[in-house]
Amino acid sequence: MRTLLLAAGLLLALSESLAAAERSTTLKDQQEVAVTIYNENLALVKDTRKVKLIGGEGRLAWRDVSARIRPETALLRNLTHAKGFYLIEQNFDFDLLTPQKLLEKYIGQTVSVIRTHPTSGVDTREEATVLATNEGVVLKFADRIETGIPGRLAFKSVPENLRDRPTLVMSLNAAQNADDTLELSYLTSGLAWRADYVAELSKNDDKLDLNGWVTLTNTSGASYLNAKLQLVAGDVNRVREEMVGALQEGRVQKAIPMAAPQMVEESLFEYHLYTLDRPTTIAENQTKQVALLSASSVPTAKEFMLRGADYYYRSSYGEIGQKMKVGVFVEFDNKGGNLGIPLPKGVVRVYKKDSNGNAQFVGEDRIDHTPKNEKVRLKLGDAFDVTADKKQTSFEKISGTTRYNYIFDAAFEIVLKNAKDEAVTVKVIEPIPGDWQMQSESHPHVKEASNTAVWQVNVPANGKTKLTYKVRVRY
């Protein structure tokens, strides 16, 4: 009987020891991982693993979380046995094991200094206390103090909070011994995405082919294997906090763009959610691309634009500019064909084939989030062969004693020149201040807004057209 009681006591002690011991879960236990990435360097990770839990209180080390996790957002759920399962405490160990970190943890403790004799090859061992590691190492031996490391250092063990991988350590209570499915979700930085678009104009600039790519960048300090990937486009409000990154960002390695199907789009609250229809691996320190959309023969309009300023309506200026740049824009509707989906903000790079069939870069512009059925307008640059000369031909003060009741008459001449072999139309936009009224003009204008006059001026091939107008401005 005494032997049985002793054995029972030993088994109970062993059980309590196992329960109190730290259990570890790694990527080998991972059943599924889902990553939702937002525009502003923010991602939601849902990591599902099969973990063997011991009933009662214990510690679980969840290895390979993001090194840039926001620990306060972590949520652990037991999907198998939720009853009686709860968290007591959690700690994020972001100090990763390196020789320097290990040395820092041993300040005030004893290490072994091992020296190898240069001729005999015999090792000798001497104990020393680590006094400091700032700008070098200071060691205290029994009879002296030395700086630097005079040999190899041997440590008794690795401190508990110094991990080889970013680890979230949780004290928890489990109702029973079981193989449970646990889901850890958390927010992290270090995962970002952007949309990149490539467009190719047709020969006559009246159509374009558009391809959209999602560029993913992972500097979070973790890899996400065969992840279910979703992207949220939209400006999500976040509480800005002053946070110090746990780890420095590593060098990014680029991956070859993948020929993937289009992503599936749906509405999510006031944002748009894009889901890749197959798993993909987002490796640590990697940039990769997946296909977003592809559309061909999209009707396009090209526009030449000359935009003025409002300062020369207030005083006498004379010459305003010679050989002024005329901007070149292209515009298309986000509808029809394979378009007609919300376009995430990003950069559109435009190419056009030369006479030998080689694609040449002709400009790029950034677009904001664009809903379906809205216009996309891109400024590609300034025209080389279309220029303008502008001058103020007269300026007269009609009445007024202060700047609050002045009335001015101002007349202008704009000579638009076209060195191309085909005619062009230039859109002239003039922002006119105050209460204004057109007195005379060589071409009819349209009042697009309360302070904007617009002319559409045809300029013949290898020719020029003169636009003149006179306006009365009341302040």
Whole-angstrom distance, CA of residue 262 vs CA of residue 214:
10
User: Would you report the helix, strand and coil content of the chain in percent, each value rounded to 5?
Assistant: 5, 55, 35
Residue 251: the pLDDT is: 36
Could you give the count of Cα atoms lying within 13 Å of 156 in the half-sphere of its Cβ? 10
Give the tokens for residue 275.
Answer: 């889901």
How far is the CA of 90 from the CAs of 30, 46, 284, 422, in angstroms? Answer: 20, 17, 25, 72
3-state secondary structure 111-174: EEEEEECCCCCCEEEEEEEEEECCCCCEEECCCCEEECCCCEEECCCCCCCCECCCEEEEEEEE
In this prediction, residue 244 has a pLDDT band, given cuts at 50, 70 and 90, of very low
Residue 66: the pLDDT is: 94
The winner for highest mean pLDDT among 93-97, 205-209, 264-268 is 205-209
Q: Is the pLDDT of residue 104 over 50?
A: yes
Report the pLDDT averaged over residues 18-39. Answer: 85
Report the pLDDT averaged over residues 6-17. Answer: 36
Residue 262: the pLDDT is: 53
> 99-154: same fold as 16-35+46-94+163-188?
no
Q: Is the pLDDT of residue 2 over 70?
A: no
Give the tokens for residue 5.
Answer: 């009681």
Percent of the chain scored above 90 by pLDDT?
Answer: 63
Higher pLDDT, 474 or 39: 474
Give me the residue spans of the domains in the chain. 16-35+46-94+163-188, 99-154, 190-237+245-297+335-372, 301-333+374-474
Lowest mean pLDDT among 82-96, 248-262, 431-445: 248-262
Percent of the chain scored above 70 by pLDDT?
Answer: 88
Residue 168: the pLDDT is: 92
Report the pLDDT averaged over residues 3-7. Answer: 33
**pTM reported for the whole predicted model:** 0.70
In this prediction, residue 403 has a pLDDT band, given cuts at 50, 70 and 90, of confident
Higher pLDDT, 244 or 279: 279
In this prediction, residue 396 has a pLDDT band, given cuts at 50, 70 and 90, of very high
Q: Is the pLDDT of residue 249 over 70?
A: no
Mean pLDDT of the chain: 86
The winner for highest mean pLDDT among 68-77, 102-111, 401-410 is 68-77
Q: Render the burial of 131-145: b for 16+ CB within 10 Å, e for the rest.
A: eebeeebbbeeeeee
Give the tokens for residue 2.
Answer: 């005494």
Q: Is the pLDDT of residue 265 over 60?
A: yes
Lowest mean pLDDT among 29-33, 116-120, 250-254, 292-296: 250-254
3-class secondary-structure state, position 20: helix
Q: Is the pLDDT of residue 44 over 50?
A: yes
The 10s digit of each residue's pLDDT in 314-343 is: 899 989 999 999 999 999 999 976 788 889
Q: Is the pLDDT of residue 243 over 60?
A: no
Query: How many other β-carbons are positioned within 10 Å of the β-carbon of residue 299?
Result: 12
Whole-angstrom distance, CA of residue 383 vs CA of residue 381:
7
Q: Is the pLDDT of residue 358 over 80?
A: yes
Whole-angstrom distance, CA of residue 374 vs CA of residue 343:
10
Lowest mean pLDDT among 63-77, 199-213, 215-229, 247-261: 247-261
DSSP state of 3: H
CATH architecture classification, 301-333+374-474: Sandwich (2.60)
**CATH code at 99-154:** 2.30.30
The 10s digit of each residue's pLDDT in 106-143 is: 899 999 999 998 888 888 999 999 999 988 899 999 99
Q: Is the pLDDT of residue 96 over 80?
A: no
Report the pLDDT averaged over residues 256-285. Answer: 72
Query: How many other β-carbons are positioned within 10 Å of the β-carbon of residue 364?
Result: 18
Which of 30, 321, 44, 315 is closest to 185 using CA atoms? Answer: 44
Pairing of β 86-93 and β 167-174: antiparallel
Whole-angstrom distance, CA of residue 305 vs CA of residue 327:
5
Which of 194, 209, 172 is closest to 84 using CA atoms? Answer: 172
Give the CA-trace dihedral at 331, 335, 340, 342, to 10 degrees. 30
CATH architecture classification, 16-35+46-94+163-188: Sandwich (2.60)
In this prediction, residue 269 has a pLDDT band, given cuts at 50, 70 and 90, of low
In this prediction, residue 18 has a pLDDT band, given cuts at 50, 70 and 90, of very low
Which of 474, 394, 465 is closest to 437 using CA atoms? Answer: 474
Lowest mean pLDDT among 150-159, 235-244, 314-323: 235-244
Whole-angstrom distance, CA of residue 219 vs CA of residue 288:
12
